Amino acid sequence: MVTRDDRRTVALAARRNARVHTRRAVGAAPGEADFLPGPEPLETVEPPSPPRRVVRRPRPDRRATRPEVARPAEPKPAGRWRWGARIALVAVLAAVAAAGLLGRQWYDQRQLDTARQQALAAARQETVDFVSISAASVDRDLRRISDGATGEFKDEFTRDLTQVRAAVVENKVDSTGSVLRAAVVSSDLRTAVVLVAIDATVKNTSAPDGRLSHYRIQVSLARDGGSGRWLVSQLQFVG
């Protein structure tokens, strides 16, 4: 069995023979071959290893492993249209209700304004009729005053009608009046109070040339339900 030492001895002998042959080839002197350096063992250079190709493996999608949460179903277009139609309908109804309310308020205010103007006109006319009376037309004048009266005022005037007529005829009264100012104190659709400032030129047996008198008369009026006319329910001198 060849041992390790045997292999080593054979290797040294082979190296020594190689040196002798080298000396003879280059003309070296005998004995120098033992001292000639032998060929240096070649350094084995390993070829560079090819670069390692890194293969990136896709990471597992963690979201895929998560349990899916149920999402509420989106409303269908038909459902959206229904809701839109309902909202539009509510908006239209609200607008109609608001317009109706405003229209009603406007109508009521207009009715009130019309009633105020009618009451004011009736008060102006009735006070002029009351102070405009003449012996020459006494029956017509008294009838006109009574026709524009109602309630307490009409009762009093009718009760004193005979005495008033006699005084006008006896004193040969000729009175003519004109309204200076008139204003509504209070009013609603059924009643009103009006203050009237009026001047009257009065002629009689004591003042044949006429005498100017100034009156302030407060007139209370009520609207007649049948005819719609504004009639004087109370008339009093306040200055």
Cα dihedral sign for 204, 206, 211, 216? negative
Question: Which pLDDT does position 94 carry in this prediction?
Answer: 74
User: Phi then psi for 174, rounded to 5 degrees?
Assistant: -140, 100
Residue 152, in any domain of the structure: yes
Which 8-state DSSP code applies to residue 190? S
Please tell me whether residue 159 adopts helix, strand or coil conformation: helix
Residue 222, in any domain of the structure: yes
Res 225 pLDDT > 80: yes
pLDDT in tens, 148-202: 999 999 999 999 999 999 999 999 999 999 999 999 999 999 999 999 999 999 9
pTM of the model: 0.57
Q: What is the mean pLDDT of residues 199-227?
A: 92
Residue 175, in any domain of the structure: yes
Report the phi/psi class of residue 172: left, alpha or beta, with left for phi > 0 and alpha for psi in -120 to 50: left
Q: Residue 137's domain spans which residues?
A: 103-237
Question: Which pLDDT does position 91 carry in this prediction?
Answer: 73
Residue 20, in any domain of the structure: no
- List the CATH number of the domain containing 201: 3.10.450.230
Cβ atoms of residues 199 and 218 within 8 Å: no
Contacts of 111 (CB under 8 A, 6+ apart): 189
pLDDT in tens, 110-128: 889 999 999 999 999 999 9
Question: Which range has the top average pLDDT, 49-53, 66-70, 103-107, 130-134?
Answer: 130-134
